[in-house]
A and B are shown apart, each in its own frame.
Chain A
Amino acid sequence: GDSVTQMEGPVTLSEEAFLTINCTYTATGYPSLFWYVQYPGEGLQLLLKATKADDKGSNKGFEATYRKETTSFHLEKGSVQVSDSAVYFCARSNDYKLSFGAGTTVTVRA
Chain B
Amino acid sequence: NAGVMQNPRHLVRRRGQEARLRCSPMKGHSHVYWYRQLPEEGLKFMVYLQKENIIDESGMPKERFSAEFPKEGPSILRIQQVVRGDSAAYFCASSTSGTEVEQYFGPGTRLTVT
Q: What residues make up the interface of A, taking CB atoms closer than 8 Å to B? A: 4, 32, 36, 41-46, 49, 51, 89, 91, 93, 95-103
Contacts and interface: CB of A to CB of B under 8 A. Distances in A.
Interface stretch (B12-20, B35-43, B60-68, B69-77): B35-43
B52 interface: no
Contact of B98 (A96, A98, A100, A102): A96
B91 A43 contact: yes
B31 to A, nearest CB: 7
A103 to B, nearest CB: 6
A95 B42 contact: no
Contact of A93 (B100, B104, B107): B100
Contacts of B95: 96
Interface residues of A, dominant DSSP: strand
Contact of B42 (A42, A96, A101): A101
A43 B42 CA distance: 13
B108 to A, nearest CB: 5
A37 B33 CA distance: 18
A89 to B, nearest CB: 6
Top-10 shortest CB links A-B: A100-B42, A44-B105, A43-B105, A43-B107, A100-B43, A96-B98, A102-B42, A97-B45, A43-B106, A101-B42
B1 interface: no
B56 A46 contact: no
A49 to B, nearest CB: 7
B100 A89 contact: no
